[in-house]
Amino acid sequence: MTPVNSIACANTAMLESNIREILYLDPIWSAYALADLAPQHTAFCQWFHSAEAVVLAYIGLSPPVLFATGKKEDVLALATQVPPGKYQYTLLPEHRFSLEPMLSVQSELKMWRMSNKVDSPEIDPSPDAHRLSGEDLDSVITLFADHADRPDSFHRRQLEAGPFYGAYHEEELVAVAGVHVLSESGSMAAIGNVFTHPAHRGQGFGRKVSAQLIRGLRSMGIQTIVLNVAKENYAAVHLYQGLGFQIHCGYYEGLGELGAKP
C-alpha cells in the first residue's frame, strides 16, 4: 500500500483515475469527494489512497474536513499520513471506530446520507423561493447569525458558485437552501446550508427553498443529488422524503483531533 498526496504527485491524471475508481464503488457516499476532484478544488485537497481505500483532507474549510471510504484497515493506515490537527470528520461507522486510537472526539452526531432519485416526481415551482447571488451574502450571514444549529460548513465560494435559493418575508431573508459542492461535469451535487430562521419555522419556508433548489439542479442536468441530515431530526427527514429523497447510509459527523492519543 502506497499513500499518495495529490499535490505532490507528478502523474495527477493517473492519481485521479485511481481515486475516482475507488470513489465510484459507492458514489452516493463519496459524492462530496467526487465533486472535489474538479479543478477548482485541487488546491484544497490532500488525497491519500491505496488499492482499496481513499482518505481526503479538504483544507478549503476551517477546520478542514476528513473523509474516508474503502477497506477499513487501509483507511487506518492512510490516516496516519494525514497531518495531525483538528478536523470536521464524516466517517462511516467502520472507519469511525477503526480510527478510535487516533481520534479524540470533541462533538459528534449520528447522521443519515440521503439521495434523490432521478425518477422522483416533478416538483412544482415555488414563486416564493428566489435564486440568490453573491449580492445576498450579507443577508445569508445575517440569517445564519450565531444560532446554535446554523450551517457550520458555509463559505462564500459556495454562494458564488451556486445555486442557492432563498425566501424573504417582509424584505428579510428567512430561509435558504444551497449546495456544499457541485460538479456539472460529474453530474453531482450535495445540498447543504439549508436553514430557516427559528422564528419562521413550521411555515413551509424550508420546503419551498429546498424544492426550488432540487428543481434548479435537475434543470441543470444534475443526476446525483445527496444531502446530510441528523438522524434525530425527524421533521427534516420527513420533509426530504417528501421531496423524493431516500436514506442511503448512516454515518458519524463530528469535530475532533486527529493524531496519536497520549
SS3 220: coil
Please tell me whether residues 154 and 189 are part of one structural domain: yes
Confidence of residue 126 (pLDDT cuts 50, 70, 90): low
What CA–CA distance (Å, rounded) separates 98 from 119?
37
Q: Say if residue 6's pLDDT is above 50.
A: no
Per the structure, how many domains does the chain have?
2
Please tell me whether residues 215 and 178 are part of one structural domain: yes
pLDDT of residue 68: 98
Position 241 in a domain: no
Please tell me whether residues 45 and 91 are part of one structural domain: yes
Q: Identify whether the C-beta of residue 226 lies closer than 8 Å to the C-beta of residue 114.
A: yes
Q: Say if residue 8's pLDDT is above 50.
A: no
What CATH number does the domain containing 128 carry? 3.40.630.30
Which domain, by its residues, includes 88?
12-112+252-258
Q: Identify whether the C-beta of residue 153 lies closer than 8 Å to the C-beta of residue 111.
A: no
Q: Say if residue 121's pLDDT is above 60.
A: no
> Per mean pLDDT, which range of 5-9, 120-124, 181-185, 230-234 is the poorest?
5-9
SS3 234: helix
Confidence of residue 7 (pLDDT cuts 50, 70, 90): very low
Of all residues in the chain, what percent carry a pLDDT higher than 70? 89
Handedness of CA 149, 152, 153, 156 (dihedral sign): positive
- What is the average per-residue pLDDT within 248-261? 91
Position 170 in a domain: yes
Position 233 in a domain: no
Position 39 in a domain: yes
Please tell me whether residues 104 and 143 are part of one structural domain: no
Position 240 in a domain: no
Please tell me whether residues 21 and 96 are part of one structural domain: yes
Residue 13 or residue 220, greater confidence? 220
Residue 152 or residue 139, greater confidence? 139
What CA–CA distance (Å, rounded) separates 247 from 227?
10
pLDDT of residue 230: 94
Please tell me whether residues 107 and 123 are part of one structural domain: no
Position 245 in a domain: no
Position 230 in a domain: no
pLDDT of residue 51: 92
Q: Say if residue 30's pLDDT is above 50.
A: yes
Give DSSP secondary structure letters for 60-106.
TSSS-EEEEEE-HHHHHHHHTTSPPEEEEEEE-HHHHHHTGGGEEEE
pLDDT of residue 118: 64
Residue 256 or residue 145, greater confidence? 256
Please tell me whether residues 54 and 104 are part of one structural domain: yes
Q: Say if residue 63's pLDDT is above 80.
A: yes
- What is the average per-residue pLDDT within 224-249? 92
Position 229 in a domain: no
pLDDT of residue 57: 96
Please tell me whether residues 137 and 153 are part of one structural domain: yes
Please tell me whether residues 124 and 98 are part of one structural domain: no
